[in-house]
Structure 1
Amino acid sequence: MSNSTLDNYALNNWMAATPAIDTLSLCELTLPGTHNAGCDWKASYPIIPGAHWLACQHGSFYAQLHNGARALDVRLDFDSKGVEFGKFRFQHNGYRSSRNLLNLFADVDLFLQHHPDEFVILDFHELKDGTEPFDYRLFNEVMLRYLGRKIIPAGNMHLPLGELKKISSDQRVLVTAPWNIALDRTWFCRKIEHKWSGIGDTNVAELEKHIIEVLKSPPGEWEPWSLSATSYSVLGGPVDIHAQLDSWFDPEKSDWSEKCNIINTDFFEETKLVSYCRTVNIKKASNRIK
């Protein structure tokens, strides 16, 4: 298949525009993901340490989805003094952005209204205590009340996209979160494993070495997993490494994209990952038929 054919699609509905991938599940697909999706340059932050230390994306949840991201790595903490949705704030290393849970609900809802056959993974990677312990019971109640009809039951996680579409015209969001007895496991899947370098200020060379090691024996396809492909500078915060990502994950140069489930990156819109993911997913679907 030529590059021109593969590039003939819109970022905002690339999954629906690629019906061949309906034979694959969300665990089998390669998906473009956004690291720390609730911390973007359009949000506001405490003056200290400032946005440049904290912002990992350019735009809102809606902008990320519109530009092709299908797995949002989201990290909350609990503000007992907040009002309603303001009790659940997105954060980076304990520093809050102005985004709260209502922003996520509104953006996901609007996006799926426009593109009802796209699928989204909400990877609640951290649910942190604030001045008081995180209120899992309230979080469960709010999630099911405002997002419930869109959530894919945990028991259907392994079904191919085509089957999910037949089951429901609404259920398009897979929700994962750390275990807590207050979370209804009918709807909440297990916390996604992040393959991270473990180095707080990972440079490009360290990141490349990390990815090589992970992809020597990547996790299986029985549940979602996320490759953290991010770099951080102690001088400037999250680093834009789209040139390296575009080179490393190019399907014409390596099998890295094909081996991944979620490729979790900063400043995702500047990369070519949506195109790469679509290319390797078509290949995966073709291999399934053979």
Structure 2
Amino acid sequence: MNNVALENLKFSHWMASTPTIDTLALGDLILPGAHNSGVDKKATYAAPGIAHWAACQNNSFYEQMCNGARAIDARVEYHVDSRGVGTFWFQHAGMRSSRSLENLIMQVIRFLEENPDEFVLLDFHELKSGNVDFDHQEFNRFVLTHLGPRVIPSDNRQLNLGQLKQASPVQRVWLAANRHPALDRAWFLPQIEHRWSGIDTTSVDELEHHIARTLQAPPSGSMPWSLSATSYSIANGPVDIKEHLNRWFDSESGKWVFDCSIINADFYEESRLVRNCRAANIIKAQRRTI
């Protein structure tokens, strides 16, 4: 029955359709993550061919969430154009895409209007200066003005999903970013710790060793942390490693998934990552009741 439920699962509302996990809080959840979410194959770039080297996802933010991603790895650069208009753009290693912070916010709102009991973590892992210094004050204003009613207060991060639903019918977004005086701590959680191999061109073997080392002593505490499960090659750019993701994070035959918090992957929807995270969350919640 569990396998049938997983196969028939609609990823757009996998959390709401799994009430068992309502006993889990943010720091307990095992979330499928979209690595470098703002650089995807459907975006446009400054020159032809850049997508081959930069794009880590197939689809836009909205489609990523509809396909089950619940941790959005956001890397933003601030740029002011010749008219003096500032825009927060998404980038990967300095390669800027046509996705903007406004795109992200509009698509998060659309997604939550359609799926009001899903939860999304916006992990602003990088806030970089472009042709001017990063404007944290404007970033804070922009995000809270447009997402404000949907943002979960920092003080509520210990509440489980069921309690968060009782607390508010619309607060479904966690925000996380590096501490800065201009970012309102009432709404922004501390920066999410990312565990990366440290190798720009990480092979699959190097990645497997990195994951094994990390999960021997994973970070602890009430905050989530992000495991980089990505491979990159000089010839092909971000590598599709779905077969490895399926094997490494299988909830039935493997144990790695249960030691994870956020599994940050490229082209994640081509794998069984969402299914495996959901199944692992169910098992984790059930173990708590035994």
In the TM superposition, residue 8 of structure 1 has moved relative to its aligned partner by 3.3
In the TM superposition, residue 48 of structure 1 has moved relative to its aligned partner by 6.4
1:284 aligns to what?
284
- Distance in 1, matches of 2:192 and 2:39, equals 19
1:19 aligns to what?
19
2:243 aligns to what?
243
Q: Is the 8 A contact 1:75 1:126 kept in 2?
A: yes
Q: Are residues 1:72 and 2:72 paired? A: yes
Q: Are residues 1:232 and 2:232 paired? A: yes
1:8 aligns to what?
8
2:141 aligns to what?
141
- Distance in 2, matches of 1:82 and 1:145, equals 25
- Distance in 2, matches of 1:105 and 1:53, equals 26
Q: How many residues align?
A: 290
Q: Are residues 1:32 and 2:18 paired? A: no
- Distance in 2, matches of 1:237 and 1:114, equals 34
Shift in CA distance, 17/127, structure 1 to aligned 2, threshold 3 Å: same
2:270 aligns to what?
270
TM-score (norm 2): 0.97
Aligned to 1:87, the other structure's residue is in SS state strand
What aligned pairs does 1:40-119 form with structure 2 within 5 A after superposition? 40-47=40-47, 50-81=50-81, 87-119=87-119
In the TM superposition, residue 83 of structure 1 has moved relative to its aligned partner by 7.5
In the TM superposition, residue 43 of structure 1 has moved relative to its aligned partner by 0.2
Q: Is the 8 A contact 1:28 1:221 kept in 2?
A: no
1:180 aligns to what?
180
Aligned to 2:80, the other structure's residue is in SS state coil
Q: Is the 8 A contact 1:150 1:170 kept in 2?
A: yes
Q: Is the 8 A contact 1:85 1:102 kept in 2?
A: no
- Distance in 2, matches of 1:28 and 1:287, equals 12
- Distance in 2, matches of 1:7 and 1:82, equals 51
- Distance in 2, matches of 1:221 and 1:283, equals 20
Structure 2 counterpart of 1:56, which letter?
Answer: C
1:202 aligns to what?
202
TM-score (norm 1): 0.97
In the TM superposition, residue 165 of structure 1 has moved relative to its aligned partner by 0.3
Deviates more, 1:4-13 or 1:221-230: 4-13
- Distance in 1, matches of 2:190 and 2:158, equals 13
2:189 aligns to what?
189
Aligned to 2:215, the other structure's residue is in SS state helix
In the TM superposition, residue 235 of structure 1 has moved relative to its aligned partner by 1.5
Q: Is the 8 A contact 1:37 1:61 kept in 2?
A: yes
Structure 1 counterpart of 2:201, which letter?
Answer: D
- Distance in 2, matches of 1:55 and 1:158, equals 34
Structure 1 counterpart of 2:236, which letter?
Answer: G
- Distance in 1, matches of 2:116 and 2:191, equals 25
Shift in CA distance, 85/37, structure 1 to aligned 2, threshold 3 Å: farther
Q: Unmatched 5+ residue regions in structure 1?
A: none
For residues 106-130 of structure 1, what are the alpha-carbon distances to aligned partners after superposition, in whole Å with 9 as ceiling and x for unaligned?
1100000000000000000000011
- Distance in 1, matches of 2:85 and 2:61, equals 16
In the TM superposition, residue 84 of structure 1 has moved relative to its aligned partner by 9.4
Aligned to 1:65, the other structure's residue is in SS state helix
Structure 1 counterpart of 2:257, which letter?
Answer: S
In the TM superposition, residue 27 of structure 1 has moved relative to its aligned partner by 1.1
Shift in CA distance, 82/97, structure 1 to aligned 2, threshold 3 Å: farther
